[in-house]
Every structure is written in structure tokens, then in C-alpha cells.
């Protein structure tokens, strides 16, 4: 199990979360697998102790009266999945239908980010940017501080953000911005 860097004393992330008063001393007790990264906290008002475990392709979150209880709840979900004969679908239980390739198990609610191929909606890019897309493009292209922060925090998503910026830029050039 790997501990998220903001919980590890001496890292810049730890320094920052200490400054923000968000540092919560805790030592995980469950037997999470090697490739798992974990983090935890007490949430904001109202206090809501939580524990999150990220395993490539999926994640588990538990809530509880204490962080230990939250971790136990997240771990119980992880253990429950192992015994399930999964039946995958694009429908999130009691929620939306996802077309981005994410899948949920209809029996146990397990989540996998890349269970299916993405459903491509032909022609979906042939339209002007809306306001929030235009704002997003502007920050992707011009807010260097934000981009540096995101690149540091989510280095694996860097390429995806660049692709997104390119796509929005092409759409804006061809179809324009928000139309009132
Ligand atoms: Zn299942």
C-alpha cells in the first residue's frame, strides 16, 4: 500500500496540507494490496471522516464515525467485490448511463474506469463552444500557474488535458464561441 504524499511528513504536499490545517494523523490498518494508494481525512463541516483507496482502474471510498470505521467500510467493499461474479454494465446503479467506457457491476456496485470502449457520438464536436467550454479553453491556454499545478498533481492526465485543449481550440476556430 502506498500512502498519498500529503500524508507523508517532509513532502511539499504535507507542508501545504499542514498549513491548511487539513492534516489528519492516521495509520491505515487494513491489508490493502501493494499497488493501492490511500488517503483519508475528516472532511469539512459537518465533519465527515472518510477513507479513499485508489487501485489502478478503480477506487473505493468509505465513510464512518471515525477514519478507522471509514477505512473498514471501504475495505469491506473491496473484499465483497472479490467474491462477486460480476455482471458489468454502463449504467451506474440508480444514477446515469455512462458512455465514457466506465462500468459498474449490477450485483455488487463495483466500479471500473475502463470496462468498455467509449461510445463515440459522431458529429458531436461540430458545434460552437459554450460558455464553460470557452472559459475552460482560456484557462488551459493561458493560466500557466493552474496548468503547472495540475501537471504536478496529476502527471498522468497531462496528455489528456493537452488533447482537450487542442480539441476545444479547433472547435472554437471552426465553429466559434458562445452564441447568445
Ligand atoms: Zn460484482
In terms of domains, do 6 and 77 share one? Answer: yes
96 and 164 both lie in a single domain: no
**6 — pLDDT class (breaks 50, 70, 90):** confident
Q: Which of 75, 94, 120 is the last residue of a domain?
A: 120
Residue 9 is predicted with a pLDDT of 87
pTM of the complete model: 0.65
Q: How far does the centroid of ligand 1 lie from the alpha carbon of residue 96, in Å?
A: 18
Q: Report how far ligand 1's centroid is from the alpha carbon of 127 (Å).
A: 39
Pair 9, 77 in one domain: yes
Task: Clarify whether residues 36 and 108 are in a common domain.
Answer: no
Kindly state whether residues 38 and 53 are assigned to the same domain: yes
Kindly give the distance from the C-alpha atom of residue 4 to the centroid of ligand 1, in angstroms, as a whole number. 27
38, 59: one domain: yes
Residue 126 falls inside a structural domain: no
Query: Do 12 and 58 belong together in one domain?
Result: yes
Q: What would the pLDDT profile of 44-65 be if each residue is shown by its tens digit?
A: 776 789 999 999 899 999 999 9
Residue 80 CA to ligand 1 centre (angstroms)? 8
3 state DSSP class of 104: strand
Q: Is the pLDDT of residue 167 over 90?
A: yes
Q: Which CATH number does the domain housing residue 31 bear?
A: 3.30.160
Same domain, 116 and 140: no
Domain assignment present for 105: yes
Q: Is 8 within the bounds of a domain?
A: yes
Same domain, 99 and 68: no
Q: Is the pLDDT of residue 20 over 80?
A: no
Q: Is residue 21 part of a domain?
A: yes
Note whether 16 and 60 are same-domain residues. yes
Contact yes or no for 93/72 (Cβ under 8 A): no
Q: Is residue 104 part of a domain?
A: yes
What is the Å distance from ligand 1's center to 104 Cα? 8
Can you give the residue range of the structural domain that contains 94?
86-120
Question: How many CB atoms sit inside 10 A of residue 156's CB?
Answer: 6
Residues 6+ apart with CB under 8 A from 97: 90, 91
- The pLDDT score that the predictor gives to residue 63 is 94
Ligand 1 ion: residues within 5 Å (CB): 84, 86, 105, 107-108, 110
pLDDT above 90 covers a percentage of the chain that reads 58
Beta-strand runs (E) in the chain? 2-3, 37-41, 50-55, 58-63, 88-89, 103-105, 111-112
Each residue of 77-132: pLDDT tens digit?
Answer: 999 999 999 999 999 988 889 999 999 999 988 999 999 999 888 888 899 999 99
Q: How many domains is the chain built from?
A: 3
Q: Nearest 5°: phi and psi at 163?
A: -60, -40
pLDDT: is 30 or 151 the higher one?
30
What's the 57 CA to ligand 1 centre distance in angstroms? 15
Question: Does 170 map to a domain?
Answer: yes
Same domain, 10 and 46: yes
Shared domain for 64 and 106, answered yes or no, is no
Amino acid at each position: 500500500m502506498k500512502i498519498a504524499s500529503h500524508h507523508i511528513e517532509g513532502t511539499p504536499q504535507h507542508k501545504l496540507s499542514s498549513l491548511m490545517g487539513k492534516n489528519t494523523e492516521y495509520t491505515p490498518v487494513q491489508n490493502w494490496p501493494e499497488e493501492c494508494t490511500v488517503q483519508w481525512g475528516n472532511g469539512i463541516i459537518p465533519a465527515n471522516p472518510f477513507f479513499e483507496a485508489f487501485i489502478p482502474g478503480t477506487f473505493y471510498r468509505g465513510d464512518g464515525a471515525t477514519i478507522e470505521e471509514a477505512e473498514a467500510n471501504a475495505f469491506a467493499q473491496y473484499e465483497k467485490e472479490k467474491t462477486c461474479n460480476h455482471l458489468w454494465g454502463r449504467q451506474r446503479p440508480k444514477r446515469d448511463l455512462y458512455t465514457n467506457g466506465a462500468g459498474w457491476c449490477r450485483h455488487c456496485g463495483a466500479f471500473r474506469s475502463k470496462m468498455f470502449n467509449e461510445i463515440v457520438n459522431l458529429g458531436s464536436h461540430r458545434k460552437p463552444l459554450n460558455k464553460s467550454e470557452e472559459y475552460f479553453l482560456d484557462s488551459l491556454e493561458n493560466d500557466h500557474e493552474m496548468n503547472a499545478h495540475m501537471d504536478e498533481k496529476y502527471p498522468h492526465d497531462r496528455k489528456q488535458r493537452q488533447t482537450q485543449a487542442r480539441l476545444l481550440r479547433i472547435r472554437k476556430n471552426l465553429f466559434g464561441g458562445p452564441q447568445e
